[in-house]
Structure 1
Amino acid sequence: MSERVITPRNRGFLFLDAHPAGCTRLVNDMWRSAAARPAEDLGEDAPVALVIGSSSGYGLAAAVAGLARAGIRGIGVSFEKAPTARRTGTAGWYRTAATAELAREAGREMYFLNGDAFSDDMKDQVADLIEKRFGRLDHLIYSVAAPRRTDPETGVTYASALKPIGGTARTKTLVFDEDGQPDVREVATEPADEDEIAQTVAVMGGTDWERWVSHLAGRRLLADGFSTAALSYIGSPLTADIYRQGTIGAAKAHLEQTARTLDARLRELCGGRAVTSVNGAAVTQSSTAIPGIALYTGLLRGVLADGMVSPVDQLAELWDQLTGRSPLVTDDEGRVRLDTWELTGDVQDAVGDRWRSAGNETIADLADLDWFRDSVRRLYGFSVPGVDYAAPVETDVAWPAL
């Protein structure tokens, strides 16, 4: 037993510890939001799914919504750190344990593997487990956000860069000082060189997604009608210089081209489909690192309030489309669009007006700062309603057993 009271300690948007009870409550709330279906409504032949990047952000939403809404069984893959004598486990460690417990209580056969999703060893582990336990794979959700990737064939490690392409980008951004006071400032980011662009594409593009599909196809594990979706983001023109038109955008363009290549291949191989799913804005551990995104998301919440669509609700819609409960609808580029609520003209005009007016004197009236702060803290299990943070909590939580 290693119970203790955990208080938030952070450096900017990065927290040093996570709260197990808060992470558990957060996952439970997501499960309820996804409208869980009784096991008897699912039949004996529930879809088999693999969620790569299942412990945080939209990948966690994919795993929880898949289990609760679509009744999937299968495998989740993530890379998390275990608790130690000095530190708690990562938030994703505790969220995975909570997801596994909900799956068990609901009678869903779901396994969770911890390791490097980019490695061929992990691909072999997953393929072996699919072959042994399920015999086939119906769906694959790819949601990996990592700062670097080692190519398993060459051993070369690539590192991503958050930079514009073609010229210096100047953008407003939002940070908080040590006292938690908001600071709206302008930052300049120098452009990426060709090597930085190529390395970002190597990390965040479609190469590893394609390797996963090829590996499982080579093991003859793809079911007839197999579908796969890689989760993506386009975002607002306000953040385009650093995002969609920057190095990340180059990686997203590669991801979308990979989807078109895979789609043609899968149609011929097994009558399958490959798409990218363009999701709406959310506060995630990845997005808070991108200049301008924190400010934009806070302003968007100021405009829409509860009209923002949560990641788990978006992923519930994606699962409805992938499993045939509703038609699979794509745009002209073959992308499922779950971000339309964010990018309407009226919404973007309102956010743009606030963006131009945003400064230290006005930000409290323009953005929902309390919501944003709490959303960042909830990424680590803090500020979750219903949790007693003054009470000791067990930190030595085991990874779900196979």
Structure 2
Amino acid sequence: MSERVVAPRNRGFLFFDSHPAGCARVVEDMWRATPPPVADLREAGADRPVALVIGSSAGYGLAATVAGLAHAGVRGIGVSFEKAPDRRTGTAGWYRTAATAALADRHGHDFVFLNGDAFGDAMKDTVAQLVTDRFGGKIDYLVYSVAAPRRTDPDTGEKYASVLKPIGRAHRTKSLVFDGDGRPEVTTVETAPAEGDDIRQTVGVMGGADWRRWVERLAGRGLLAEGFTTAALSYIGSPLTAALYRQGTIGAAKADLEATARELTDYLKAHGGRAVTSVNGAAVTQSSTAIPGVALYLGLLRRELGDGLVPPIVQLTALWDQLTGVAPLDLDEEGRVRLDTWELDPAVQAAVGERWGGADTGSLGELADLDWFRTQVEQLYGFAVPGVDYSAPVETDVPWPAAT
């Protein structure tokens, strides 16, 4: 037992500890916000579809897991890479996974969570064996949601490192920061352009290579069900952030992901299946807050849309409806599922662009919803969650959910 009071300590948007009870409450709130399933899941029993979610502990991957369980009624496996409690708390994803597992068990879902390197073949083989031994030897859906700084190619041993840089020339952008006293400021950040093999390195981590390897590895073991469908979660974003994101090194990786979807669809025709990318709308995540300009953009977008900003759990519920056939698969001309139309509506982008043009330190309070943004960042680590007593000691030595 290791109970203690966990207080928020941070540098900028990075927090050094996570609050177990707060993380659990975040997951519980997501589960409660998920629309109920369209059918009685108890009748389906062992016939429920089998799903694999790669990157199941954070951001849109967590939303995919919770929506898959609470709405689509899947059983299956979630894979993530989280740090266990030690001298400091575990990572937020560790505690969110424990909470998701508890909810899945409480609601009668057979779902196993694995902790380890999703890029490695050892994890792929572990998952394949689990599908064989526990889930009838067939998998129906694979959702891929991985954001990582590094990847090692299992075939060559080459180590790739992703970078966040514009392509062609340096880029200057407004950015939101909080000073040492927590006061918001608008600063200007300049990012040097990609050089050398920066683009290749970033595509090697964040492109479609690992997604393809997962699908081909499972297919090689004969584990893909007829009609197998896989979706990789992606983002396009606003023209305000495009130079550093969609038109930068990360954008090159996203383009590779989309090309991989087309290649995998051809590959999966033998199984009557297909692969798609799902373009999600903006959200505050641990990954997005690291991108210069995105924090400011999110605060401005929230002030413009208010509750019209669609949370990840609602978006991923819509994606599951499309993947499972409850709703038609709604694809754009590039073959992508678009869950971001509310964000990229021209009128919305024009209004946010006006706010962006006038945004400085003095006008932030009027133009951006800073309280919302700050709360969203804190909640990534389990803080500022309504209903949690942060003055009370909490058990931090929470075990990883056993695969019983």
Output the TM-score relative to the length of structure 2.
0.98
User: Structure 1, residues 74-133: CA drift from partner, whole Å, max 9, x if none?
Assistant: 00000000001x200000000000000000011100000000000000000000000111
Q: How far 1:43 sits from its partner (Å)?
A: 4.9
> Aligned partners of 2:112, 2:35: CA distance in 1, in Å?
22
The aligned residue for residue 95 of structure 1 is 96
Among 250, 264, 281, which residue is 1:262 paired with? 264
State the secondary structure of the residue aligned to 1:192. Answer: coil
The aligned residue for residue 346 of structure 2 is 345
The aligned residue for residue 283 of structure 2 is 282
The aligned residue for residue 63 of structure 1 is 65
1:148 and 1:159 in contact (8 A); partners too: yes
Structural mapping, 1:178-189, within 5 Å: 178-189=180-191
> Aligned partners of 2:193, 2:127: CA distance in 1, in Å?
39
> Aligned partners of 1:306, 1:329: CA distance in 2, in Å?
24
The aligned residue for residue 240 of structure 1 is 242
Q: How far 1:44 sits from its partner (Å)?
A: 4.0
User: Structure 1, residues 290-335: CA drift from partner, whole Å, max 9, x if none?
Assistant: 0111010110001001111000110000000001111111111010
1:39 and 1:106 in contact (8 A); partners too: no
The aligned residue for residue 20 of structure 1 is 20
Letter of the structure 1 residue corresponding to residue 259 of structure 2 = Q
User: Structure 1, residues 171-195: CA drift from partner, whole Å, max 9, x if none?
Assistant: 1110111111111011111100140
Among 140, 146, 150, which residue is 1:138 paired with? 140
Q: How far 1:164 sits from its partner (Å)?
A: 0.1
Q: How far 1:42 sits from its partner (Å)?
A: 4.2
User: Structure 1, residues 154-185: CA drift from partner, whole Å, max 9, x if none?
Assistant: 11111100000001111111011111111101
The aligned residue for residue 377 of structure 2 is 376
Distance change (3 Å), C-alpha of 1:41 and 1:346: farther
Among 134, 147, 150, which residue is 2:149 paired with? 147
The aligned residue for residue 322 of structure 1 is 323
The aligned residue for residue 52 of structure 1 is 54
Letter of the structure 2 residue corresponding to residue 29 of structure 1 = D
Letter of the structure 2 residue corresponding to residue 128 of structure 1 = Q
Q: Does 1:211 align with 2:213?
A: yes
Q: How far 1:41 sits from its partner (Å)?
A: 5.6
Letter of the structure 2 residue corresponding to residue 7 of structure 1 = A
Q: How far 1:196 sits from its partner (Å)?
A: 0.5
> Aligned partners of 1:157, 1:12: CA distance in 2, in Å?
29
Select between 216-225 and 180-189 the one with higher mean Cα deviation.
180-189
2:289 and 2:295 in contact (8 A); partners too: yes
> Aligned partners of 2:102, 2:41: CA distance in 1, in Å?
15
Letter of the structure 1 residue corresponding to residue 164 of structure 2 = L
> Aligned partners of 1:246, 1:172: CA distance in 2, in Å?
17
User: Structure 1, residues 16-58: CA drift from partner, whole Å, max 9, x if none?
Assistant: 0000000000000000111243532645410100000000000
State the secondary structure of the residue aligned to 2:151. Answer: strand
Output the TM-score relative to the length of structure 1.
0.98
Unaligned runs of 5+ in 1: none
Distance change (3 Å), C-alpha of 1:359 and 1:284: same
> Aligned partners of 2:284, 2:21: CA distance in 1, in Å?
20
The aligned residue for residue 10 of structure 2 is 10
Q: How far 1:265 sits from its partner (Å)?
A: 1.3
Q: How far 1:246 sits from its partner (Å)?
A: 0.2
1:4 and 1:393 in contact (8 A); partners too: yes
The aligned residue for residue 74 of structure 2 is 72
> Aligned partners of 1:187, 1:354: CA distance in 2, in Å?
18
Letter of the structure 2 residue corresponding to residue 142 of structure 1 = Y
Select between 300-309 and 35-44 the one with higher mean Cα deviation.
35-44
Q: How far 1:228 sits from its partner (Å)?
A: 0.1
Letter of the structure 1 residue corresponding to residue 12 of structure 2 = G
State the Cα RMSD in Å.
0.8
State the secondary structure of the residue aligned to 1:288. Answer: helix
Letter of the structure 2 residue corresponding to residue 13 of structure 1 = F
> Aligned partners of 1:194, 1:315: CA distance in 2, in Å?
37
User: Structure 1, residues 255-279: CA drift from partner, whole Å, max 9, x if none?
Assistant: 0000000011112x20001000000
Q: Does 1:367 align with 2:368?
A: yes
Letter of the structure 2 residue corresponding to residue 215 of structure 1 = R
Select between 303-312 and 30-39 the one with higher mean Cα deviation.
30-39
1:39 and 1:107 in contact (8 A); partners too: no
Among 161, 164, 187, which residue is 1:162 paired with? 164
> Aligned partners of 2:10, 2:43: CA distance in 1, in Å?
44
> Aligned partners of 1:114, 1:155: CA distance in 2, in Å?
21
Identical counterparts, % of pairs: 70
The aligned residue for residue 84 of structure 2 is 82
2:41 and 2:48 in contact (8 A); partners too: no
